[in-house]
């Protein structure tokens, strides 16, 4: 994340990501108007759909981030969201996606009744390629499926977890892509 850069958090929810990012310009978008109360100082909030980023010009952001978003959408909405994300990214920008990886969590995946679409790290990488992205990094096991537990949720523990060579309980993936050159 370039410190002097701009970031857009799609489906920002509780603003857990965007509130902690070091960037000169931070934007959060969510369909639920109530999300704005979670945004920290300096975060510009936008209520709207991830399928329509027309409020932002082409090549506006260095990073577009989405965590646990795409699995809640149907295919046409996913395609529009990815196309819009590519449009608002700078040519050297990056799309960062954190998603449940169905390959490692088939039993729990549909415990969340709002999950609509299944992704694996292989399928998501292929989808991104088909939508005009060049995939740079795929981590099939990045984070635990959920942080709902009695364990503390300190940032230092998450940082230590991400440094482990083997990540127990990791059932979410990380995929990083950039707009493919035309």
What pLDDT score does 161 carry?
A: 60
Helix H, strand E, coil C: the string for the chain is: CCCCCEEEEECCCCCCCHHHCCCCEEEEEECCHHHHHHCCCCEEEEECCCCCCCCCCCCCEEEEEEECCHHHCCHHHHHHHHHHHHHHEEEEEEEEEEEECHHHCCCCHHHCCCCCCCCCHHHHHHHHHHCCEEEEEEEEEEEECCCCCCCCCCHHHHHHHHHCCCCCCEEEEEEEEEECCC
What pLDDT score does 129 carry?
A: 98
Give me the percent of the chain exceeding a pLDDT of 70: 87
| Residues 37-74: tens digit of each pLDDT | 999 999 999 999 999 999 999 999 999 999 999 999 99
What pLDDT score does 160 carry?
A: 67
What pLDDT score does 28 carry?
A: 98
What pLDDT score does 6 carry?
A: 98
Q: Report mean pLDDT in 10-residue bins for the chain, 182 residues.
A: 92 94 96 97 98 97 97 97 98 97 94 95 98 97 63 60 70 95 68
| Domains annotated on the chain, with CATH | 6-179 (3.40.50.150)
pTM, 2 dp: 0.89
What pLDDT score does 168 carry?
A: 73
What pLDDT score does 1 carry?
A: 76
What pLDDT score does 146 carry?
A: 57
């Amino acid at each position: 994340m370039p410190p002097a850069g701009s970031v857009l958090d799609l489906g920002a929810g509780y603003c857990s990501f965007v509130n902690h990012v070091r960037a000169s310009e931070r934007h959060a978008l969510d369909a639920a108007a109530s999300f704005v109360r979670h945004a920290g100082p300096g975060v510009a909030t936008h209520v709207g759909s991830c399928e329509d980023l027309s409020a932002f010009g082409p090549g506006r952001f260095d990073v577009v981030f989405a965590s646990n978003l795409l699995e809640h959408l149907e295919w046409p909405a996913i395609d529009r969201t990815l196309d819009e994300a590519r449009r608002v990214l700078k040519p050297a920008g990056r799309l960062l996606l954190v998603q449940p990886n169905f390959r490692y969590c088939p039993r729990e995946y549909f415990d969340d009744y709002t999950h609509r679409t299944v992704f694996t790290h292989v399928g998501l990488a292929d989808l991104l390629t088909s939508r005009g992205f060049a995939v740079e990094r795929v981590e099939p096991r990045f984070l635990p499926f959920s942080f709902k537990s009695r364990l503390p949720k300190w940032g230092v523990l998450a940082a230590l977890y991400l440094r482990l060579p083997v990540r127990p309980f990791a059932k979410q993936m990380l995929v990083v892509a950039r707009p493919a050159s035309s």
